[in-house]
Amino acid sequence: MSKEAAIDMKDVELNEQDQEKQPMTGDGQAAGVETNGGVKAKVQVDEVTFTGLSKEELMKVAGTPGWVRTRWALLVLFWLGWLGMLAGAIAIIVQAPRCKPIPEMNWWNEGPLYQISDLEAFSEGIEGVEARLDEINKLKVKGLVLGPLHTVNDDQLPTLDLQAVDPTLGTKKALVAVLEKAHKKGISVVLDLTPNYKGALPWFNAGDVDVVMEKVTAAAQYWLNLDIDGIKVSDLTVATNSVGWTKLEAALVVNGTDKPRKRLLMGVVTKGISADAVSQLVNTTAVDLVLSDLFTSKKGGVERIMAMNTLHSQQRNLAWGLGAAQHDQLSKHAVTPALIRLYQLLLFTMPGTPVFTYGDEIGLQAVGSESPKMIWDLEKEPAEGAAVNETVEAERLEHVAIRKWFKSLSDLRGKERALLHGDYYPLSSSASSLSFVRVWDQSERYITAVNWGSADELLALKLAPTEGVELSETATVILSTDPDQEVGSTVSLDKITLKPGQAVLLQFPYIG
């Protein structure tokens, strides 16, 4: 056998060995290889590379009439689409309901006022107030009403010094420290300058009113220079009849731009007058906020709803309280924990500024004529293994629960426009119940329904025909004093049954 034939036979044997090494997958041969019998031959594959058009070729093609027409057509379509979207957006804006402008709001319209009339009972004087500001701030209050703090002996005009701090309560320096810390937390401070606050008549005798008014005006200017945010006086009907009243009004006008916070002139009606008389005071005086005793003097639901009907349009100049006009705790008029919650809900949702006396947030009980001692450290639980007085522990837990309820209402009022400055519409009222709805533009609507009576009350919630306002068929329970009425549940607005001493806050959406 020749040498060439021997080499070929060796190649055949190698190819056969390669065949045996291939996996038996049945997937065919490897790419680029052809097998003919036992001979493997390599096939040359020519690769084709696309280099595209050159610049000269592209320019030549781009200038053809077909491509020119195509580009113009695409450009026209783009601008037609853009103009169509613009026209659609304009049509949506024009057809959409216009937003109602927000009314002018002052700081005292944005949240509740917290009244501390007896600083010693609250927390051992002025320094105690500063120490408790962090806890007060958690209540989302917008203003503190302090005092009176000035020195005076009962019914003795010569002893009146409205620019001096009673040394038993603290010092002027301590008061300035309260102002500075409160302002850092966004809390304004109002000083009660009611002259004869320890005596029988707030302005002493009738013949002394003009002289006393001069002292009040001078004191107002003095304290405002120390960054007090406003003053409060009691027995407004007597004060406004004084010849010096206009001077006091002028003293509280903010001049220049160095004092961005508006000063408050707060007047208190301590004697029962009608809602019409309160409205007249608002219209004829420069009093920024009038606190009346209408809810204390009027016990029936029909009377109370009529007072709100008269005054709701003046809500930015109106303050409500249950006992606050007389420095009484809310518990003096709401004698059960359920009623305390009921009146808290009512005051927070009425059209106007709610005013509370210290301790109202926990249902502090007043005993006798003395101011009750404020209770602190309610979150502190009994030590493990220590003896527990069940009655005391139950009272502590009740205080904690009432404060939680108060904080939830304060937080809700600060967030919801309908409750903050919304319109008011009465729904129903009886001797011991009332209900109303608060509405603002396209925001959520809120219904307050309360029954402070001793029997079940069936409320038919109906709204008089009013342009642009209508009730939903159902509403959602937001807050309820009745444990059987779950938060988040849905109720029909045709008829709602409230148990004795119960209240509910309902919500339903804007109906376009």
Gyration radius of the chain over CA positions: 40
**Residue 189, Cβ neighbours under 10 Å: how many?**
22
| pLDDT at residue number 168 | 96
Strand 143-146 and strand 113-116: the pairing is: parallel
Contact between 438 and 422 under an 8 Å Cβ cutoff? The reply is yes
- Reported as a single tens digit per residue, the pLDDT across 51-75 is 666 777 777 777 788 778 888 888 8
**CA end-to-end span of the chain, whole Å?**
105
Q: What is the pLDDT at residue 35?
A: 47
**Paired residues of 505 in beta bridges:** 448, 479
Cα-based distances in Å from 366 to 235, 307, 363: 23, 27, 9
Task: Work out the angle between the directed axes of helices 390-415 and 337-349 (0-180°, nearest 10).
Answer: 10
User: Any idea what DSSP says for residue 494?
Assistant: S
Task: Tell me how far CA of residue 382 lies from CA of 378, 389, 392, 394, 402, in angstroms.
Answer: 10, 10, 11, 12, 19
| The predicted structure's pLDDT at residue 13 | 52
Sequence-ordered alpha helix ranges (H) in 298-356: 301-311, 337-349
Residue 324 CA from chain centroid, whole number: 22
Q: Which residues of the chain are under the pLDDT cut of 70?
A: 1-53, 96-97, 254-262, 467
- 133: closest CA among 175, 173, 178? 178
- The answer for residues whose C-beta is within 8 angstroms of residue 56's C-beta and 6 or more apart is none
Helix (H) / strand (E) element for 428: namely strand 423-429
- For residues 357 and 376, give the distance between their C-alpha atoms in angstroms, rounded to a whole number: 15
Query: Does the CA dihedral 418-495-456-487 come out positive or negative?
Result: negative
Tokens for 109, please give them.
């319209």
pLDDT in tens, 230-264: 999 999 989 999 999 999 988 887 655 454 456 88
Distance CA 314, CA 351 (A): 9
Length of the chain, in residues: 512
Instruction: Give the per-residue pLDDT at 180.
Output: 97
What is the pLDDT at residue 380?
Answer: 85
pLDDT at 34: 46
The predicted pLDDT at position 41 comes to 54
DSSP string, 168-183: TT--HHHHHHHHHHHH
Torsional class of 292: left (φ above 0), alpha (ψ -120 to 50), beta (otherwise) = beta
Read off the DSSP letter of residue 372: P
Amino acid at 237: T
Instruction: List domains and CATH numbers for the chain.
Output: 107-415 (3.20.20.80), 425-508 (2.60.40.1180)
Strands, E assignment, 148-270: 150-153, 156-165, 188-192, 230-234, 264-268
Angle subtended by helix axes 275-284 and 301-311, to nearest 10: 20
pTM, two decimals, is 0.81
